Amino acid sequence: MRPALNVLAAVLLAVLPTAVAPDALAAPAAETLPLAEAVAQLPVAAEDRTGYDREQSFGGWIDADRDGCNTRMEVLLEEAVEAPAVTGRCTLSGGRWYSWYDNTFIDGPRGLDIDHLVPLAEAWDSGASAWTRQRRVTYANYLDDERHLEAVSAPSNRQKADQDPATWLVPDNPAERCHYLANWTAVKLQWGLTVDPAERNTLTFGAAECPGTEVTVNPVP
């Protein structure tokens, strides 16, 4: 009977769909399109900050790969224009960074903040309030897209705070406005976040002043 069973098994394998492991499933495809078209894809909705608490809603920096460097340190290491020295459990000293928000070079890590390009409060207002806390922690520590987290001067980050482009648009480095608008739009599309009417108007008018600017959207699973 064993040969007959082997034949039957072979037939079944030939006709049944092959199971695909979750890790083998194709990731959503990236898409590159003009900034104006990308802005047009953003859903519009009123913002709501009800229930927001930064620490409770998004948590703090984590060390996802357990190498001793938390998210802040990983961004500093990635974005340094002159590498810092690393000692102990990811203590950084020296190094140099370029803060494109205000066109400034910063020596040493202490003068830098790590900015969420689309701030945590803005993300909450725009749809993240409906996510699981784990997804919000992932958002707060997302390293798979360099546009998401930026090492910038502490003054520029604190000037920006949780504002969207309708009220803050790299005022100290106007040459980077198209860059900023494109990155903002990409992050919002990637995470399925909405824009409010004033934000949408700013993005729309800004896109018209940025001909040739494209946005690559890498969907987040």
pLDDT in tens, the chain (221 residues): 444 444 444 443 444 444 444 444 455 689 999 999 999 999 999 999 999 999 999 999 999 999 999 999 999 999 999 999 999 999 999 999 999 999 999 999 999 999 999 999 999 999 999 999 999 999 999 999 999 999 999 999 999 999 999 999 999 999 999 999 999 999 999 999 999 999 999 999 999 999 999 999 999 98
Pairing assessment for the beta strands 104-107 and 96-99 based on DSSP bridges: antiparallel
pLDDT, residue 185, reads: 98
pLDDT, residue 14, reads: 44
pLDDT, residue 29, reads: 85
pLDDT, residue 63, reads: 98
68 CB-near residues (< 8 Å, 6+ apart): 89, 90
pLDDT, residue 7, reads: 41
Q: What is the pTM of this model?
A: 0.87
221 three-class SS: coil
Phi and psi dihedrals of 43, rounded to 5? -70, 145
pLDDT, residue 197, reads: 98
Element (H, E) at 112: strand 112-116
Please say whether the dihedral angle defined by the alpha carbons of residues 70, 119, 137 and 33, taken in this order, is positive or negative. negative
pLDDT, residue 12, reads: 37
Which residue, 26, 33, 221, 204, is CA-closest to 142? 221
- What tokens appear for 195 in the block? 């824009």
